[in-house]
Structure formats: C-alpha cells, structure tokens
C-alpha cells in the first residue's frame, strides 16, 4: 500500500479528484455526483489521515506516493 504525500498541492488534489470521480462513475455514480463526491473527499483528506480501501487503481500523475 502506498500513501499520497503531496495532496496539499493543487495539481495533485485535482488529479486525485479526477481519478476518484472516474472510478465512481465506472461504479455507476452519475458524473455530477461523482465529481462532487471526489472533490469533497480530496478536501476532507487534507484534514485527516485515513486508511482507504481502493475500489480501483488509477495513476495519479501529479502526486507523489510513498510506502
């Protein structure tokens, strides 16, 4: 498991939100709902450290990940 270490950077946060929105859409959420959920999740994760269970693997091109 790896951890995103630069979610505080706008480019990473946007990349994270885009990819999470994509995953949620593929799981059946409507695009507007998935975008809102992804944005809120990215903002919330800035405040809290959390263990996440991933439903899919996505490349976060603007993020730095560490073990």
Residue 13, pLDDT score: 92
Residue 49, pLDDT score: 63
Which residue has tokens 């507007």? 32
Per residue in 19-56, pLDDT tens? 999 999 999 999 999 999 999 999 988 877 655 555 56
Distance CA 29, CA 35 (A): 9
Given a contact cutoff of 8 angstroms between Cβ atoms, the answer to whether 66 and 2 are in contact is yes
The tokens for 11 are: 């480019």
E strands, 2-64, where? 3-4
Q: What is the pTM of this model?
A: 0.72
């Amino acid at each position: 498991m790896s951890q995103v270490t630069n979610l505080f950077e706008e480019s990473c946060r946007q990349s994270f939100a885009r990819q999470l929105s994509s995953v949620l859409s593929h799981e059946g959420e409507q695009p507007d709902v998935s975008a809102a959920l992804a944005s809120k999740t990215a903002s919330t994760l800035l405040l809290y450290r959390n263990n996440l269970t991933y439903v899919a693997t996505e490349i976060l091109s603007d993020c730095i990940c560490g073990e």
